[in-house]
Homo-oligomer: A and B are copies of this chain.
């Protein structure tokens, strides 16, 4: 296993400690619950926005805690839902008089942990609502999912809801906005390589030297099919066709286009993909008004990418442009 790791059992807490040490003025780390939260949360004038999921998808979600994004994230171990009591304790620590919003990617384990955590928190008098993200068009049901999976498109949901929460929107309004963004967001991904969870120490699945997995999930779940390795442009063509025809996105639509890396793909390749995807959307008459190129929702060290489209209207455009300050900042 070629990774920076000490004890695989400490992989997540050692990462979280690093995030906290790098952001002492803005973030608080609560080791008992794998919790990364804003030091100024809960804010009584603002709904607290929380996401939990398995680890291994960084920067999602522990590295996108900050003003205009998440108030807290409580991850589980690598590719494992957070335990129910992490959800409960996080909700209690983040309880605001305006309420708490859980954003949950649609996986059975995550939904179960958040539903039970929500019930227990409600029994303690906390007002909680839950928003489900399911943007992945690749497959209807999957290894860990009934219905579609939630993948990189959840960035647009978080950014929109986070922005609106800073402006004072109440729980109902945040649910409306989040559901609306989710309803106009579609993603499909593909893998060039497998990925290696630290505790396993070997690749999660096997992929031949001349193969790729189209429609792969962010935990290495099978996609639509395994194919012979193709050119960058052919890969973009297949992903875009699946995404565009699903909603469908139509000529004269304005969209945000995300080229998301899965962790092991250099940013140079992502920009190469972006150029062709932008051109192909233009050929369909679809206008790319905002773009996002980089690692947003990853699968450890997997080489691969996903393409996400969000259809823009004035409301979503303004929320995506609202200020955000995240834990990881580079310049």
Binding site for B on A (CB under 8 A): 2-6, 11, 14-15, 17-22, 55-56, 58-59, 63-64, 69, 159, 192-193, 209, 229, 231-233, 235, 263-276, 278-279, 291-296, 298, 300-301, 303, 305, 324, 326, 328, 330-331
Contacts and interface: CB of A to CB of B under 8 A. Distances in A.
In the A-B complex, the 8 residue pairs with the closest CB atoms: A18-B275, A18-B271, A4-B269, A4-B232, A18-B274, A2-B192, A17-B275, A58-B268
A241 to B, nearest CB: 17
A240 to B, nearest CB: 14
A18 B272 contact: yes
Contact of A231 (B5, B275, B330): B5
B5 A56 contact: no
B276 A14 contact: yes
Contacts of A298: 266-267
A69 B330 CA distance: 13
A202 to B, nearest CB: 11
A229 B15 contact: no
9 contacts: A2-B303, A11-B268, A14-B272, A14-B275, A18-B273, A18-B293, A56-B268, A159-B331, A324-B331
